[in-house]
Structure 1
Amino acid sequence: MSDPISNVYRWPYEYASVVAFFAAVPIVLAVPEVFLLSRDLSPAVALGLAAIGAWRFRQARRIARHRKAVRVLKPYALAPDELPWSQRAVFLGMGFEWSVRHTQRMALLALPENESLRHPPVWYRWARAIERDPHRPAWLRELLSQDSPWNPCRPMPPVGGVPALHGVEIDEEQVWTPLAELNNHMMVYGTTRVGKTRLAQILIEQDIKRGDVVIVFDPKGDVDLLLGMYSAALRAGRADEFLLFHLGFPEVSARYNPIGNYEQVTEVATRATGPLPDQGQSAAFKAFAWRYVNVIARAMAAVGERPDFRKIYEYGVSIDKLAGKYVRQWLDAHAPCWSDEFDPTPTKEHKDLVTKAEKNSRDLEVLMLLAYFKAKGYHDPIADALSSVLANDRTYFEKLVNSLYPFLEKLTSGSLAELISPDYEDTADPRPVLDWLSVINRGSIVYCGFDALTIRDVAEAVSASMLADLTSTFGRIYKHGSGYGMSSAEPMRRVRLHADELNELIGPEFVQAANKGGGAGLFITGYSQTAQDIEVKVGSSAKADQIGGNLNSLMMLRVVNLDTARKLTDRLEEVRIATRLVASGASDTNDPADFAEFATRNEDRVSTEKVPMLDPAWLMKLPKGQAFALLEGGRLSKVRIPLPLPHVDDQIPADWAAMLGHMRAEYAAYLARTPDMDLTVEGTGGGY
């Protein structure tokens, strides 16, 4: 009778029958009479015994493999040229589809009789103790630490976690998800240094090989991610399409104007004031700053100037020059003879204007020009708005927009000003100018590093503006079709946006990008440590849930937050697993006429109980480089990610050397402040 629970973690008793069957084979061949067999029949019987012995050995071997798999981690690393890829699907790693069978096996492992399978054996702990003991012979410590199949006590890879979460299945295969499914976007959760960035490398490598437009937002600045992208571009023959934008290294970075491209001029003010605080009383001041910047942007657009942070700050501090330029241009267009009538010399009638100009340090001629404009009965929304601004008491007005000036100063100081407020007419500057529509039309690969470890406020402001600009670009493509911005109709390009530390970039613009971007060919993959990081950033759980609702596919590496783990487990159904209750008893009788003096009873009672398919605590015990993936509307897979992907240092541009050295030093300092160990391919042995 078969085991209704299918306990694959029992002792492999089949080995006893294997010994018996194979021991009988030579006896049957040598002295068949012992088994009352003729010599003609003995070869056939011996063959049958050997076949049964092989069958039983296979059963025993499978049980032994199950017992070993739950405590031994197999190494898994791929070179970049070995990474599978497809035009129709995305490769995630090796694994299997998680089902009720695996939940049942995890329940079996929790039983007391399987305690030994959950911990390393005595000889493994003995070997590790010798390695740590400096008084032991060096040759012995070196021998025991060798990562070799010939070492029965070789060390486990330093990835922590519970190996059983992947070892519950010994038959794994490649895990793929259809590329079209990622049009619904994907979210990746994982604590510090458990494999998020390496997973990003896996996905980016495939995107580049497929010929997609690839955009990566990296707030911290991961050297391996940058080098991995550039190496992938080299291997795919797309190095000429690679663009680097990095706030920390303006000398090698492409230039970029976050507020220079727009469809509606109001987008300029929204992007420029987006990072300002908007909680409580700050909301009113932010609204006033928005209106002020919007007036400046509208006037600049009308006089043919492209907005940038430097000009916004320049006109924000003193708007007189812009007001004079706009009014003169308007009068030239609508009243060509105005200059013959207008006298810039003040008279007694202009006494009030002179007093106001002196008190507020305003340009008297501009005030007189606006007064002439009004006296003639001319009406124009922009001119009226400029007149309204100049009519305010300057001291009072600057208090209202006080939060705007320090913010703009941060964005217009030093070499950063030339980077994000580029001079388009400077032909002597060899650095390219980044433009999202051109990036999409040319099929480029863009790495955006924001140096958040050094200039956090600036990084948040520029990244938010950049995402808003990208969202606006996709809005135009969504509205006007795939041929927008191109001379001839072409198929819509697929754009793969990877946003590391998504909580640093998240905002209202992201919701619009996720909602509308899919229709314009945008595929978003976001990476974050916890769900609460996003909630804190947006200010409410409702907004965080709204964002999560746009990221349909979910991958979760090891997390340290129970609420984050439940983002995955709450989307799974409960399943029924079998449990066994062993019952035994004995009874006796005092009836002298009864021949039986006592009776015993032994029985196994099998019942079922309802449990979650995935316990949230398991997601907090995953080894590094492993994940659960909820794909295709509910298919749960357990995945091992091939880590890490090596990069090619000898082919990087020569002018990157100083930048890479600084990025490594900054990131090393960041890692030193974080207690977890980093993932490495050294010591990826199989255990014991």
Structure 2
Amino acid sequence: MAQPHAVEVLLRPAVELHTVAVCTGAAILCLVAPWSLALNPLLGLGSALAFLTFGAIRLRDAWAILRYRRNIRRLPRYVMTSRDVPVSQQRLFVGRGFRWEQRHTHRLMQTYRPEFRRYVEPTAIYRAARRLEERLEFAPFPVSTLARALAWDSPLNPARPLPPVGGLPRLHGIEPHEVDVTLPLGERVGHTLVLGTTRVGKTRLAELFITQDIRRKVRGEHEVVIVFDPKGDADLLKRMYVEAKRAGREGEFYVFHLGWPDISARYNAVGRFGRISEVATRIAGQLSGEGNSAAFREFAWRFVNIIARALVELGQRPDYLLIQRHVINIDALFIEYAQHYFAKNEPKAWEVIVQLEAKLNDKNIPRNMIGREKRVVALEQYLSQVRIYDPVLDGLRSAVRYDRTYFDKIVASLLPLLEKLTTGKIAQLLAPNYSDLSDPRPIFDWMQVIRKRAVVYVGLDALSDAEVAAAVGNSMFSDLVSVAGHIYKFGIDDGLPGAAAGAKIPINVHADEFNELMGDEFIPMVNKGGGAGVQVTAYTQTLSDIEARIGNRAKAGQVVGNFNNLFMLRVRETATAELLTRQLPKVEVYATALMSGATDSSDPQGNTAFTSNTQDRISSNSVPLIEPAHVVALPKGQCFALIEGGNLWKVRMPLPAPDPDEAMPKDLQELAGYMRQHYVEAGDWWENQGIPDLQDKALPEDLLDDFKQMAAAEEAET
């Protein structure tokens, strides 16, 4: 029977079918020939109904056994179009599954016992069909049709092949009664970590979450959606645009892509700040702070801060190009700021400075000022004679007083970073010209995005240049942390008419391969960003990726410890799997043992020669709820989810039904096509493959012309 007992055994023959057959025969007999059972027609009808009722109960029990055995080998297909993804104002849909309990561990342990092997392993017909299919792969036409017939994916095919998802179907098949698995939206502010190796469904899960975030409306307003995609997944970009258009938000959709600056939106990572010192922190924070490098990072921070303060006083918005220009030649900024300061405070000072400059020659210039412009030397001499206190002017003065060679050495670590962010067309994206009204590419910042409830796709083109991708990603994260701090203190509408103090909205940040983008600034985002409404969903392969990026085991543990929700897909690293399994309790599983024996009688005169006995024993063992080996054996598109305070769920995500690209604009279609051709798996994306060859005819002709012009310009510069 299928009812639960102390020891549940569902891997067995469906013996209830024998009872069903007997009840069916008895019911027919009672209806057709009640006289054979000494019944009149009315009693025969009643007896037939009784037999059919009992047979139906036994058929239900048999069906439970048969369905369980089928699910152990093959799960029913689960497909859903994006239009059918449920969007709730209270919960986040994840997929279908069940809450993992002790009975599921018990059932899983039974599948490994040798007596149940025939119910778990593929049938003999299936194995023979696969062998025959391999042999007929290169067979001529009349015979090759047999191979195609064997590979026919239909329920009518008795040797139907399994879906190409790998893993063990039994991990999900042990529970035939699935329910929709959802995560309360209130839990998302505790952040979510998704772990899984390459090509096992992380991006599909991201699409599922992002689809709901784009379409969700809470109290009549949409939510902010920001997606960081280092590799460049065309399907993810397409899904975001299609869903934004479906939700009526295509006017709020921004695409920032380093690989396609001509159609990308523009962004200034240091143009908006609450405190001027944030500019230096965002830039110098990306420099190494280990060992002897710490001192150079502090020097770099100081000089960037001096430059940023001077630019703001001059009424200029800081950007990477301006900072790079003045780091290379700080003399020009010193002179420009001095002119600005003296014009307001001491208009007659320039007369004295010009006289001092006229008296300078190579012999009377101080040694530490050799190589500086004479006007800079004259300014320094004038400031040393008068008492003027201006913090910006004093900072610039201290910078120019350094020996020029020494100054170049102490900012040497800063210049490579600025070169990464200001080379080629990337400079147009990261240092936009706000006064150029003829440029149609929009300019955005995070506060503007949040206030507009916009949808932002950030493609970092890490395949072409991983160094620049990491630098830009770090800058964006750092800027976002600063904006989160401002929202935490003042709300999103600070400074606007009718602003509500402390108003916050959900800010959904999805960071794929986030270990390659994160730095020290990521820790406060996951630690304190929830107070500003930031809800981070981070995707990566292993824990080692995080530790390798940060370079500190304690900090890596600090990052992981701030994620309250964990989705564990198939992983290849045992330590990563143990992040889940070590948080789970042990449970008792039961096992039966058949024991029999015989005892000879020692009395030759007795009537009994021997005695025998047979016993059924039930024993219990303490085992982990799940083992790391089970996580390693997960099929694609399935995961273990530790949500809502440590509740373990086994989930499978719906397979996507593809949508055409016609809903996208032409430029985004071209971008998506390029991304599909040059997309690499996460395990290899950091290997620099370079820009595709100019003769690649898969690209449109207009884009090929752009590439040729870029190449010609670079050759001319060389």
What TM-score comes out, normalization by structure 1 length? Answer: 0.94
Q: Which residue number in structure 1 is paired with residue 350 of structure 2?
A: 339
Instruction: Say if 1:357 and 1:364, in contact at 8 Å, map to a contact too.
Output: no
Aligned-residue RMSD, C-alpha: 2.1
Aligned partners of 1:473 and 1:631: how far apart in 2? 28
Residue from 392, 407, 419 that aligns with 2:417: 407
CA displacement at 1:335 relative to structure 2: 2.7
Structure 1 position 170 matched with structure 2 position 176: yes
Aligned partners of 1:295 and 1:344: how far apart in 2? 28
Structure 1 position 258 matched with structure 2 position 265: no
Instruction: Say if 1:255 and 1:422, in contact at 8 Å, map to a contact too.
Output: yes
Classify the secondary structure of the residue corresponding to 1:370.
helix
The CA deviation string for residues 71-103 of structure 1, in whole angstroms up to 9 with x for no partner, is 103221211111111011100011111111111
CA displacement at 1:296 relative to structure 2: 1.3
Residue from 316, 337, 349 that aligns with 1:305: 316
> 1:30-41 maps to which residues of 2 (within 5 A)?
30-32=32-34, 35=37, 37=39, 40-41=42-43
> 1:151-300 maps to which residues of 2 (within 5 A)?
151-210=157-216, 211-300=222-311
Distance 1:432 1:54, change over 3 A: same
Classify the secondary structure of the residue corresponding to 2:510.
strand
Moved more, 122-131 or 619-628: 122-131
Aligned partners of 1:31 and 1:597: how far apart in 2? 54
Q: Which residue number in structure 2 is paired with residue 70 of structure 1?
A: 72
The CA deviation string for residues 420-445 of structure 1, in whole angstroms up to 9 with x for no partner, is 11111111111111111111111110
Residue from 551, 565, 576 that aligns with 2:577: 565
Structure 1 position 492 matched with structure 2 position 504: yes
Moved more, 238-247 or 568-577: 568-577
Q: Which residue number in structure 2 is paired with residue 579 of structure 1?
A: 591
> 1:652-671 maps to which residues of 2 (within 5 A)?
652-668=664-680
CA displacement at 1:250 relative to structure 2: 0.5
Aligned partners of 2:291 and 2:161: how far apart in 1? 56
Instruction: Say if 1:327 and 1:370, in contact at 8 Å, map to a contact too.
Output: no
**Residue type at the aligned position of 1:270:** T
Aligned partners of 1:43 and 1:275: how far apart in 2? 85
Aligned partners of 1:417 and 1:81: how far apart in 2? 39
CA displacement at 1:271 relative to structure 2: 1.4
CA displacement at 1:476 relative to structure 2: 0.4
**Residue type at the aligned position of 2:427:** A
Q: Which residue number in structure 2 is paired with residue 11 of structure 1?
A: 13
Residue from 519, 524, 528 that aligns with 2:531: 519
Residue from 628, 650, 656 that aligns with 1:644: 656
CA displacement at 1:279 relative to structure 2: 2.3
Instruction: Say if 2:463 and 2:685, in contact at 8 Å, map to a contact too.
Output: no
Moved more, 147-156 or 282-291: 282-291
Q: Which residue number in structure 1 is paired with residue 118 of structure 2?
A: 116
Name the structure, 1 or 2, with higher relative contact order (CA <8 Å, separation 6+): 1
Instruction: Say if 2:420 and 2:471, in contact at 8 Å, map to a contact too.
Output: no
Q: Which residue number in structure 1 is paired with residue 639 of structure 2?
A: 627
Q: Which residue number in structure 2 is paired with residue 104 of structure 1?
A: 106
Classify the secondary structure of the residue corresponding to 1:342.
helix
Classify the secondary structure of the residue corresponding to 1:605.
strand
Q: Which residue number in structure 2 is paired with residue 149 of structure 1?
A: 155
Q: Which residue number in structure 2 is paired with residue 469 of structure 1?
A: 479
Residue from 533, 536, 552 that aligns with 2:548: 536
Classify the secondary structure of the residue corresponding to 1:260.
coil
Q: Which residue number in structure 1 is paired with residue 513 of structure 2?
A: 501
> 1:280-429 maps to which residues of 2 (within 5 A)?
280-346=291-357, 348=359, 354=365, 356=367, 359-360=370-371, 362-429=372-439
CA displacement at 1:33 relative to structure 2: 5.9
Aligned partners of 1:154 and 1:637: how far apart in 2? 29
The CA deviation string for residues 100-119 of structure 1, in whole angstroms up to 9 with x for no partner, is 11111001111111112332
The CA deviation string for residues 326-363 of structure 1, in whole angstroms up to 9 with x for no partner, is 22222333334323443345355776663658832x12
Aligned partners of 2:654 and 2:32: how far apart in 1? 53
Moved more, 47-56 or 237-246: 47-56
**Residue type at the aligned position of 2:201:** G
Q: Which residue number in structure 1 is paired with residue 85 of structure 2?
A: 83
Aligned partners of 2:449 and 2:101: how far apart in 1? 43
**Residue type at the aligned position of 2:312:** A
Aligned partners of 1:442 and 1:37: how far apart in 2? 81
The CA deviation string for residues 466-511 of structure 1, in whole angstroms up to 9 with x for no partner, is 0110110110010112432533225522211100001012222111
The CA deviation string for residues 392-423 of structure 1, in whole angstroms up to 9 with x for no partner, is 11112212221222221222111111111111
Aligned partners of 1:446 and 1:176: how far apart in 2? 25
Aligned partners of 1:369 and 1:186: how far apart in 2? 56
**Residue type at the aligned position of 2:56:** A
Q: Which residue number in structure 1 is paired with residue 698 of structure 2?
A: none
Instruction: Say if 1:73 and 1:157, in contact at 8 Å, map to a contact too.
Output: no
Classify the secondary structure of the residue corresponding to 1:184.
coil
The CA deviation string for residues 152-193 of structure 1, in whole angstroms up to 9 with x for no partner, is 111111010000010010010111111111011100001011
Instruction: Say if 1:353 and 1:368, in contact at 8 Å, map to a contact too.
Output: no
CA displacement at 1:35 relative to structure 2: 4.7
Moved more, 616-625 or 275-284: 275-284
Identical columns (%): 44
**Residue type at the aligned position of 1:437:** M
Instruction: Say if 1:73 and 1:156, in contact at 8 Å, map to a contact too.
Output: no
Moved more, 231-240 or 394-403: 394-403
CA displacement at 1:374 relative to structure 2: 2.4
Aligned partners of 1:647 and 1:552: how far apart in 2? 33
Aligned partners of 2:401 and 2:384: how far apart in 1? 13
CA displacement at 1:598 relative to structure 2: 2.6
CA displacement at 1:370 relative to structure 2: 2.6
Instruction: Say if 1:353 and 1:364, in contact at 8 Å, map to a contact too.
Output: no
Classify the secondary structure of the residue corresponding to 2:61.
helix
Aligned partners of 2:278 and 2:555: how far apart in 1? 22
Moved more, 537-546 or 281-290: 281-290
The CA deviation string for residues 291-340 of structure 1, in whole angstroms up to 9 with x for no partner, is 22122112212222211111111001100111112222223333343234
Residue from 627, 630, 633 that aligns with 1:618: 630
CA displacement at 1:668 relative to structure 2: 5.0
- Which structure 2 residue ranges, 5 or more long, are not aligned? 217-221, 687-718
Moved more, 194-203 or 276-285: 276-285
Q: Which residue number in structure 2 is paired with residue 604 of structure 1?
A: 616
**Residue type at the aligned position of 1:22:** T
What TM-score comes out, normalization by structure 2 length? Answer: 0.90
Classify the secondary structure of the residue corresponding to 2:80.
coil
Aligned partners of 2:522 and 2:243: how far apart in 1? 27
Aligned partners of 2:412 and 2:116: how far apart in 1? 67
Q: Which residue number in structure 2 is paired with residue 686 of structure 1?
A: none
Aligned partners of 1:3 and 1:477: how far apart in 2? 56
Aligned partners of 1:339 and 1:383: how far apart in 2? 15
Q: Which residue number in structure 1 is paired with residue 46 of structure 2?
A: 44
CA displacement at 1:37 relative to structure 2: 4.8
CA displacement at 1:646 relative to structure 2: 2.7
